[in-house]
Amino acid sequence: MIAPIAADAETRVKLPFYRHLYVQVLTAIAAGILLGHYYPQLGTSLQPLGDAFIKLVRMVIAPVIFLTVTTGIAGMSDLKKFGRVVGKAFIYFLTFSTLALIVGLIVSNVVQPGAGMHINPATLDTKAVSNYAAQAHDASVVGFLMNIIPDTIVGAFAKGDILQVLFFSVVFGIALGAVGDRGRPVVDFLQALTTPIFRMVSILMKFAPIGAFGAMAFTIGKYGIGTIANLAFLIGTFYLTSIFFVLVVLGAVARYNGFSILALIRYIKEELLLVLGTSSSEAALPGLMNKMERAGCKRSVVGLVIPTGYSFNLDGTNIYMTLAALFIAQATDTSLSFGDQILLLLVAMLSSKGAAGITGAGFITLAATLAVVPSVPIAGMALILGIDRFMSECRALTNFVGNAVATVVVARWENELDQTKFAAAMAGKLTGEIDTPALQAAE
C-alpha cells in the first residue's frame, strides 16, 4: 500500500522552503564560506562543529548497518540469493571502479593539467606528505582483508569499522535465517529496534546545517580560497571529469536500467549537500540507506551494497588517483611510457582496496600507488597537498552517487526493486526524508 506514503510526502513538500534540510545545509555552506574567507581565524576555530556532527553520525552507523543487514538477510527465503546479490555487486564495483581509473588516465593524457610546470622534485618539501607515505606503507591488500574480521564482536562496534560491522552482520543474519522459526523472536526484536534507531538518525540530521557550517568555515579559513586559484586547472579538470563520469557514464547505466541519473541526484540532494559541506560521505550513509529503501530497493540489497560500496566502489577516488598521479608526472617532467601507465592502473586497482576505510584514504591511496610505481616521484605529492581538501569533496560526492546508482542497479538485477515506489521517488512524489514509522505504517 503506497498511498499513505505519497500523502505524507505531499504534506511535507508544502512546508516553508526554509524548513527543508537541503535549503538549511546549502545556506550553512554559503555562510561558512563567507565566514572562513573574511574571518579565517574564527573559521578555523569552528572545526569542532563539523567534527562533532560527523562523530554524532558515526555513532549510529554501526547499529544502522547491523539492523539493516541482519534483518534483510534473515528475511531471505533463499540464501543463494544472498550470494547472487554479493556477486553481482562486486562485478558492478570492479567494472566501474576500473572504468573510473581508465577515464582519469585518458583525461590526464588529453588535457595534461601538469604540463609546463617544470618542477624539480628535489626542491619540494616532503615533510608534509611523509605521514601519508608512512600510512600507505602499512596499507596492503592482505592486511586490509585480514582487518575485515574483527578481533571481537564488541570490538567491531566499538571501533565503528564499517566492514567489520558488515562482516559480523552478514554472518549473524545468515545464522538467524538458518535457525528458522526459533530465530523469529530475535528478528522481530531487531525489526522493532530499527524504528527508534532511524528516528534517532532523523533527530541527528537536524544538526546537519551546524556541522556543514563549521566544516566549511574551517576548510576555507585554514586553506583559503586563494589555494584553489593556485592549482585551479587541476581542480577544474578533476571536477569536470567527475561530472562527466556521473552524467555520461553513470547516466548511461541509469538510462539502460530505466531511470534518470538527474532524478536520482535530485532525490538524494540533501545527502549530497551534506557530503559537500562536511567532506565526509560517512555523514550521509544512514540517510542514503534509508532513502534507497524508501525508494523501493529491498532492505537486504541496500544493506549489502551500500556499506560494501563505501570501501569497494570508489569511482571518485579512482578518477582522482590516475589524474593526480599523471599530474605529478607531468609537473615534474617525468616521462611515462604506455607500459608505465598500465602498471600505474593495475597498482591503483589494488591499492584503492588496500587503503579503503582509512582516514584521508584518497591521498593515502595515491601515496601507496606511487610507492609501487617508482617512475613517478612520491615527493610530487607535496604539490597537491594544499588542495586535497577541496578535491576530497568531489571524490566523496562522486563515490556517493556511484553507490546510489549501484544499489538501484543491483536491486533491479535481482528483481528486488518496487517499481511503484521507485517511480514515485524519481518523480519527486516521495521526499525520502528519514521517517521509518511512516513507511512501516504505510506497508
Confidence bin at 260 (pLDDT 50/70/90): very high
In 3D, which of 275, 277, 254 has the Cα closest to residue 411?
A: 254
Q: What are the pLDDT digits (tens) for 309-345?
A: 887 888 988 899 889 889 888 888 888 888 888 888 8
Q: How confident is the model at residue 437 (pLDDT cuts 50, 70, 90)?
A: very low
The H or E element that residue 123 is part of is: none
Contact (Cβ atoms closer than 8 angstroms) between residue 74 and residue 173: yes
| Highest mean pLDDT (candidates 133-137, 174-178, 334-338, 398-402) | 398-402
**pLDDT over threshold 80, residue 358:** no
Average pLDDT along the chain: 81
CB 15, CB 197: distance < 8 Å: no
For range 160-186, the mean pLDDT:
86
> What is the predicted pLDDT for the residue at 400?
92
Which of the four pLDDT bands, split at 50, 70 and 90, describes residue 396? confident
pLDDT (mean) for 121-126:
66
- CB of 136 closer than 8 Å to CB of 359: no
- Residue 113 confidence (pLDDT) above 90: no
pLDDT at position 436 over 60:
no
**Residue 121 and residue 333: Cα distance in Å, rounded?**
9
| In the predicted structure, residue 209 carries a pLDDT above the cut 80 | yes
Give the C-alpha distances (Å, rounded to integers) separating 339 from 65, 103, 235, 319, 335. Answer: 41, 17, 27, 19, 11
Q: What is the largest CA-CA distance in the chain?
A: 70
Is residue 309 a contact partner of residue 89, using CB atoms and an 8 Å limit?
yes
Higher pLDDT, 17 or 212: 212
For residue 374, what is the DSSP state?
T
Predicted TM-score of the model (pTM) = 0.80
> In whole angstroms, what is the distance from residue 441 CA to residue 6 CA?
12
Residue 438 has a pLDDT of 35
Share of the chain above pLDDT 70, in %: 83
Contact 70, 173 (CB under 8 A): yes
Instruction: Look up cell 604539490; give the residue.
Output: 383
Question: What is the model's pLDDT at position 334?
Answer: 85
Count of beta carbons in the 10 Å neighbourhood of residue 258: 13
Annotated domain spans of the chain: 3-442
Determine the Cα–Cα distance for residues 279 and 390; give it in Å rounded to an integer. Answer: 8
- Give the percent of the chain with pLDDT over 90: 25
Q: Which region among 16-25, 58-67, 125-134 has the lowest average model confidence (pLDDT)?
A: 125-134
Per-residue DSSP letters for 206-263?
A: TTHHHHHHHHHHHHHHHH-HHHHHHTHHHHHHHHHHHHHIIIIIIHHHHHHTTS-HHH
Compute the distance between CA of residue 289 and CA of residue 205 in angstroms, rounded to an integer. 14
pLDDT-based confidence at residue 91 (cuts at 50, 70, 90): very high
Residue 124's pLDDT is 64
pLDDT, position 341: 86
20-24, 126-130, 354-358 — which is least confidently predicted? 354-358
**Band of the pLDDT at 16, cuts 50, 70, 90?**
confident
8-state DSSP, 379: G
Q: 436 is written with which cell numbers?
A: 521509518
Does the structure show a pLDDT above 70 at 95? yes
Q: Give every CB contact of residue 267 below 8 A, 6+ residues apart in sequence.
A: 291, 295, 425, 426, 428, 430, 432
Q: Give the CATH fold of the 3-442 domain.
A: Proton glutamate symport protein (1.10.3860)
